[in-house]
Amino acid sequence: MNLAELTLHEAAAQLRKREFTAVELTESVYQRIAETDERVHAYLTLARESALKEARRADERLKKEGADAHDLLGIPIALKDNFLTKDLRTTCASKILGDFLPPYEATAAAKLRAAGAVIVGKANLDEFAMGSSCENSAFFPTRNPWDLERIPGGSSGGSAAAVAADQCIAALGTDTGGSIRQPAACCGVVGLKPTYGRVSRYGIIAFASSMDQVGPITKNVRDAAILLEAIAGHDPADSTSIERPVPSYTEALTGNLRGLRIGHSAEFFVDGMQQEVALAVNDAMLKMESNGAIIDHTMLPHTEFAVAVYYIVATAEASSNLARYDGMRFGHRAAANDLAQTYMMSRAEGFGAEVKRRIMLGTYVLSAGYYDAYYLKAQRVRTLIKRDFDEAFRHCDVIVTPTAPTTAFKVGEKKRDPLQMYLSDIYTISANLAGLPAISLPCGFDDQGMPIGLQIIGKPFDEETVLRVAHAYEQTTEWHSRKAKLESKN
């Protein structure tokens, strides 16, 4: 077996037994990147030299720590390129940050390094995390390892594609409206969005600050639990970070669903969704029921407004967050004759079409005369969506839905129709608006051989139950063990 094909927990166990070294594992990952990334385009920046140094240090620690070594010690991990990494290029897939070298590190990245993880490189994304297909990158689109003519999902498309193609052992992404879960579904891997405040956002390039959240993308549920446990916890540098203990998420993986109530909401099964997706999700719930769970029908009546609310709130916050990119303090600066022209030309040259569209939408809904009609009203409906979930969780432990209405679509298919692209996140947005934890994992394949994603949404800070349900279902199927048939170029 190629070492790059190992899961995180398999690799960790074998590293501790010294069956191979962290250097050998890292070299195997870079060999896989060399063989496949000319076609997948998962990475924007590789960090081979520093990664091999980290791997050598990990091997020294492994000799000393042995069986007591951290699960992440020596594990090659990819970071979405909106994580600040000290002295390693961070672009957010935008020309405006094309050569930016951050002076400090994101907290999540720092936690990985402290645990001994090896940072392989920075993965591609939709520019400033704005997109559902990884086609909005200023540099190049990423391709789906299952079918190179299809998108990998977005905005964490590079991270999901890298995991699916065995170009890393695991990855981190960010999720503002589904940007971890939707690409995980498209690429047949596991993606977890934690509760808002569970993982520090410090050092993450902001898109929509009230919804952005960091989370793992992995090959199976156990790996997601391991990675979440490493990055979770209070951070004084993040004012939205919650001060509460981090449980052992792996201990929640009992495989037992007996007595748990699984919510099923008709609002997530809408006209236009792919029939194979509906059938696969319904079959998954039947498997959960046969494993002892109780299926409970519940109502989330304001779900239909989630997309509209999201694209008002998120664009408003994006307009505010992206105002700092003015061509003066850092990033791209246009050659202009005066200050006002420098501002305008720097932003015009530095931002792509989708980012400009969202800045303009956000500026409009925040403007005088429209704030009450749009932004304030959207915030009120957001509260109603949150209340729907509060009510549902009075009698359900989790809610199960599709992750996306369809499997991965063809590259370019929706590029000219922003509204159709926005609807790709129709099932994932609600969890962000309500600040809830949610996971996506494979639950089948369509007749074109493309993966189908199952979403499990939980109560605030109840990632344990979300992971427990996901793991128990995963153990009854073999979907997670299937590999994309991406042959080496040699």
Count of other CB atoms within 10 angstroms of residue 164: 27
What burial letters (b/e) apply to 406-419, b meaning 16+ CB within 10 Å? bbbbebebbbeebe
Name the one residue in this structure whose structure tokens are 């936690």: 111
Per annotation, catalytic residue among 80, 193, 219, 414: 80
Per annotation, catalytic residue among 94, 132, 179, 200: 179
Query: In the annotation, is 53 catalytic?
Result: no
Assess contact for 78 and 123: CB atoms under 8 A. yes
Taking each helix axis as running N to C, give the angle between helix 306-321 and helix 377-392, from 0 to 180 degrees, rounded to the nearest 10. 120
Per annotation, catalytic residue among 155, 200, 346, 440: 155
Q: In what order do the strands lie in the sheet with 190-193?
A: 43-46, 118-123, 76-80, 170-174, 214-218, 190-193, 438-445, 451-458, 398-402, 261-265, 294-298
Assess contact for 175 and 215: CB atoms under 8 A. yes
Burial class (CB in 10 A: 0-12, 13-18, 19+), 67: exposed
Query: In the annotation, is 155 catalytic?
Result: yes
In 3D, which of 181, 48, 192, 56 has the Cα closest to residue 122?
A: 48
| Centroid of chain to Cα 270 | 24
Query: In the annotation, is 489 catalytic?
Result: no
User: Mind telling me the catalytic residues?
Assistant: 80, 155, 179
